[in-house]
Amino acid sequence: MFRLHRFPTVAAAALAVAVLPASVTAPPTAAAPAAAAPAAASAAGAALHISASRARVVAAYVLPGDRVYPEGIAADPRTGAMYAGSFQDGTVYRMTPGRRVAEVFLPAGADGRRTANGLKADRAGRLWVTDSTAGVSVYDTRSRRLLARFDVPGDGARFVNDLAIAPDGSAYITDSARSVVYRVTPRDLAAARGGRATLAPRFDLADVLEPHGPGDFTLNGIVADPAGRFLLTADMHGGDLYRLDAASGAVRRSVLHGGDLRNADGLELQHGRLWTVHNVDNAITRWRVARDGAGARRERALADASLQLPTTLVRSRGTLYVVRSQFDKGGPLGDGTPEIPFTVAAVHGL
């Protein structure tokens, strides 16, 4: 999810998948309050050397409701079911293979949640749901029972955004307003079980990020190294990728080749490849990440207006599933009327 600031509607783009030259850079970040609107997607498509035959974007699941404005998505590693959350009212939907229409898993406003941003299902049968205004809630996927809630400390600005689950079971959660990453360990979860606790920052990146104003949104998507050594998180404002050392707490910028991560929202990391959605650009990029997380090289990109302002993605059984938020059509980023029904897209060939 990105800064709640209204921008002119992004221009339509043709389908584009290509290996990107090093000279191609992303449009200005969406988080800058005084920045111009993102460059026209059609122009971006031309720069990407359009090849319409190499990728397909199709509707995979329907999210019932005319004001859904979905934001997050997660895949259950045990069952193959997927979950999507509504930024508008906090509804969480469950999608199962073979059923095109999603079911309501958690109703709007459940347990006091106002929104549903980042989602992650872990291997212990739990679903983690962030509420940008408050913190993160943890649910049992079998009973739908609330297991624990973790609240943001203090009364200042906050925007609890995305999260990742490390191999040791710890959850790492980005705060786009505070430029910090919180951590909830298995011990923390056990201590809070059935009740509430306070989130504790594990990484503070405020002093290492590119210069930004107090109202700019920074950290967004986050992923965990499968070996448990590090995490990667994107600064959507500065366009950088950061490596967070799980053991030492050290933070360093990863070297990017072939582009940057401006407007980067959700991330997905599998088998050394990192997929990133660039929300207001209607784009997805694919990167090859170094084994130690110290760098990444952009391999391919897709720019397509039918992504409908994508916010998050997950890769399941070889297919990318992408949330089509339509935030710029009557949602938090612009006036207008959304296309009904809201859907989750499947992207093949990227």
pLDDT score recorded for residue 272: 97
Alpha carbon distances (Å) from 153 to 104, 133, 150? 30, 12, 9
pLDDT score recorded for residue 197: 98
pLDDT score recorded for residue 9: 31
Phi then psi for residue 42, to 5 deg, are -65, -40
3-class state of residue 279 by DSSP: helix
Q: Which letter does DSSP use for residue 209 in this model? A: S
3-class state of residue 224 by DSSP: strand
How many angstroms separate the CA atoms of 185 and 55, rounded?
Answer: 39
Mind giving me the DSSP string for 280-306? GGTEEEEEEEPTTSSEEEEEEEEE-GG
Q: Which letter does DSSP use for residue 108 in this model? A: T
How far is Cα of residue 211 from the mean position of the Cα atoms in its chain? 22
| CB contact at 8 A, 213 and 239 | no
Phi then psi for residue 223, to 5 deg, are -135, 160
Amino acid letter at 225?
Answer: D
pTM: 0.87
Q: Compute the CA torsion angle 65, 163, 149, 90 (nearest 10 deg).
A: -10
* Tens digits of residue pLDDT in 233-253: 999 999 999 999 999 999 999
pLDDT score recorded for residue 39: 34
| CB contact at 8 A, 264 and 221 | yes
How many angstroms separate the CA atoms of 294 and 137, rounded?
Answer: 32
Kindly give the residue spans of alpha helices, DSSP state H, lying in 72-173.
none
pLDDT score recorded for residue 52: 38
* Tens digits of residue pLDDT in 202-243: 999 999 999 998 889 999 999 999 999 999 999 999 999 999
pLDDT score recorded for residue 228: 96
Those residues of the chain that have pLDDT short of 70 are: 1-53
With b meaning 16 or more CB within 10 Å and e meaning fewer, what string describes 157-180? ebbbbbbbbbeeebbbbbbbbbbb
pLDDT score recorded for residue 1: 55
Kindly give the residue spans of alpha helices, DSSP state H, lying in the chain.
41-47, 186-192
- Burial of 24 from C-beta contacts in 10 A (0-12 / 13-18 / 19+): middle
pLDDT score recorded for residue 55: 83
Residue 220 neighbours by CB distance under 10 Å: 32
Give 45's strand partners: none
| CB contact at 8 A, 205 and 179 | yes
How far is Cα of residue 19 from the mean position of the Cα atoms in its chain? 23
Tell me which residue has tokens 């859904």. Answer: 68
Lookup: tokens for 84? 């999507």
Tell me which residue has tokens 């989750």. Answer: 344
